[in-house]
């Protein structure tokens, strides 16, 4: 009887997920890393890497997450996959809280959530050939029967622009773009629903970047994948994303559709980022917004609005009161006192 109830609940959850069409929902996610000092290694403070981030990603969509280095983008991606244990908040994957899962449940859901790391060379074992790098997890999770393993591996490699004769080669024998294709193939071999792309093209040449971005888009259209695309390159984010979130010092300061963010940026930080993006026209005049100073330490963030120490439009209230996130138009939110 209990098994039937459990099956009915699973069916209900799956039906609700289909209706809502939301693969990932993040609610007020916080990730603080303790700072220890002294002989006793006592906790004397916290690095607030992620400080209350919320967003949703629908099935088959791509959310771009942008911001300066050190703003917490990668930590968001790793915490979503439970590679970090959260401080607080909620991460729902297909309607289920991944932090409420036990070890067995988490293991069963692992193939559905994958990551492509920033540096393809350091994320690949130099001691394993490509066939083992891509196929190790396939065998571990029993994705396909042993009789179909070789054929499945060939199919995955061809889908990612690799040839079957590459299987016996090692990572050092490939170019940077080919190594990133290996990383993508390793993630896709588990037939995931959701993939975190952690700056997957930042270490590649511009021409190779375009190839990898086009590959990711083609695979998304073919397999119905959902991406969280982390990057500091706004031109890449504009090309691949459907929605965009802008992070500053652990906070999501602006969120909206790609069209609304790039055509009507509301937060002064978003405006500064967009003004710094290069334009492929030497005769075009750029109205560059220069931000003074550097990003404050996440271990000791400023009071009120964290951006007020660098904001060109700062007001008295900014240093005292934390801004509330407001929806300025459907789906377009911003956390700034300019819009109170």
Q: What percent of the chain has pLDDT over 70?
A: 92
Q: What is the mean pLDDT of residues 239-255?
A: 96
| 162 bridge partner residues | none
Ramachandran region of residue 182, left (φ > 0), alpha (ψ -120 to 50) or beta? alpha
Q: Where are the alpha helices (DSSP H) in the chain?
A: 2-20, 73-80, 103-109, 130-141, 149-159, 176-188, 206-223, 234-240, 258-263, 268-276
The pLDDT assigned to 14 comes to: 47
Kindly list the distances between the CA atom of residue 274 and the CA atoms of 200, 252, 292, in Å, as whole numbers in the listed order: 21, 16, 16
* Residue 224 pLDDT exceeds 70: yes
* Residue 287 pLDDT exceeds 90: no
Angle at 326 between CA 323 and CA 331, to 5 degrees: 145
The pLDDT assigned to 202 comes to: 84
The pLDDT assigned to 173 comes to: 94
Pairing of strands 88-93, 96-97: antiparallel
* Residue 139 pLDDT exceeds 90: yes
Q: What is the mean pLDDT of residues 121-142?
A: 92
* Residue 215 pLDDT exceeds 50: yes
User: Which residue in the block uniquely carries the two structure tokens 């024998």?
Assistant: 173
The pLDDT assigned to 235 comes to: 85
The pLDDT assigned to 293 comes to: 78
Kindly indicate the confidence band of residue 3, based on its pLDDT and cuts at 50, 70 and 90.
very low
Token pair of 184 as six digits: 């993508």
The pLDDT assigned to 100 comes to: 95
CA-nearest of 260, 262, 226, 266 to 331 is: 260
For 97-116, b/e burial (b = at least 16 CB within 10 A) is ebeeeeeeeeeebbbebbbb
* Residue 11 pLDDT exceeds 70: no
Taking the CA atoms of the chain, what radius of gyration do you get in angstroms?
A: 22
* Residue 141 pLDDT exceeds 70: yes
Q: What is the pLDDT of residues 16-40, one digit of tens each?
A: 444 459 999 999 999 999 999 988 8
The pLDDT assigned to 196 comes to: 97
The pLDDT assigned to 232 comes to: 87
Distance CA 74, CA 77 (A): 5
* Residue 4 pLDDT exceeds 70: no
* Residue 233 pLDDT exceeds 90: no
Distance CA 28, CA 317 (A): 24
Q: What percent of the chain has pLDDT over 90?
A: 76
In a 3-state reduction of DSSP, which class is residue 101? coil
CA-nearest of 161, 181, 159 to 171 is: 181
* Residue 301 pLDDT exceeds 80: yes
State the number of CA atoms in the 13 A half-sphere of 31 facing the CB.
Answer: 28
The pLDDT assigned to 290 comes to: 79
Pairing of strands 332-335, 226-230: unpaired
Tell me the pLDDT of the chain averaged across its residues.
89
The pLDDT assigned to 77 comes to: 96
* Residue 12 pLDDT exceeds 50: no
Token pair of 213 as six digits: 């971005």
Q: What is the pLDDT of residues 154-204, one digit of tens each?
A: 999 999 999 989 999 999 999 988 999 999 999 999 999 999 999 998 878
Q: Are 170 and 182 in contact (CB under 8 A)?
A: no
* Residue 1 pLDDT exceeds 70: no
């Amino acid at each position: 009887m209990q098994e039937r109830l459990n099956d009915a609940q699973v069916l209900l959850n799956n039906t609700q997920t289909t209706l809502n069409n939301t693969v990932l929902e993040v609610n007020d996610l916080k990730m603080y890393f303790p700072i220890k000092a002294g002989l006793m290694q006592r906790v004397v403070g916290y690095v607030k890497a992620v400080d209350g981030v919320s967003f949703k990603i629908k099935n088959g969509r791509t959310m771009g997450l942008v911001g300066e280095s050190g703003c917490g983008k990668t930590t968001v991606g790793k915490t979503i996959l439970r590679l970090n244990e959260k401080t607080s908040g909620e991460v729902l994957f297909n309607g289920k809280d991944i932090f409420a899962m036990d070890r067995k449940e988490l293991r069963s859901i692992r193939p559905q959530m994958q990551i492509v790391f920033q540096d393809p060379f350091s994320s690949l074992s130099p001691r394993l050939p490509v066939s083992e790098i891509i196929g190790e997890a396939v065998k571990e999770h029993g994705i396909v029967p042993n009789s179909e393993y070789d054929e499945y591996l060939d199919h995955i490699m061809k889908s990612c622009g690799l040839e079957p004769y590459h299987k016996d080669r090692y990572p050092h024998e490939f170019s940077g773009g080919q190594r990133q294709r290996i990383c993508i193939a390793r993630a896709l071999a588990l037939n995931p629903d959701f993939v975190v792309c952690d700056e997957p093209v930042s270490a590649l040449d511009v021409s190779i970047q375009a190839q990898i971005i086009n590959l990711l888009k083609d695979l998304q259209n073919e397999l119905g994948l959902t991406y969280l695309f982390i990057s500091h390159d706004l031109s890449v984010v504009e090309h691949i994303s459907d929605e965009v979130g802008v992070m500053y010092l652990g906070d999501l300061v602006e969120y909206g559709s790609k069209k609304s963010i790039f055509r009507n940026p509301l937060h002064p930080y978003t405006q500064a980022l967009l003004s710094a993006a290069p334009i492929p026209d030497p005769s075009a005049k750029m109205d560059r917004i220069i931000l003074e100073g550097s990003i404050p330490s996440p271990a000791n963030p400023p009071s009120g609005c964290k951006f007020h120490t660098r904001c060109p439009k700062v007001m008295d209230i900014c240093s005292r009161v934390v801004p509330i996130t407001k929806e300025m138009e459907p789906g377009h939110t911003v956390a700034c006192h300019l819009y109170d």
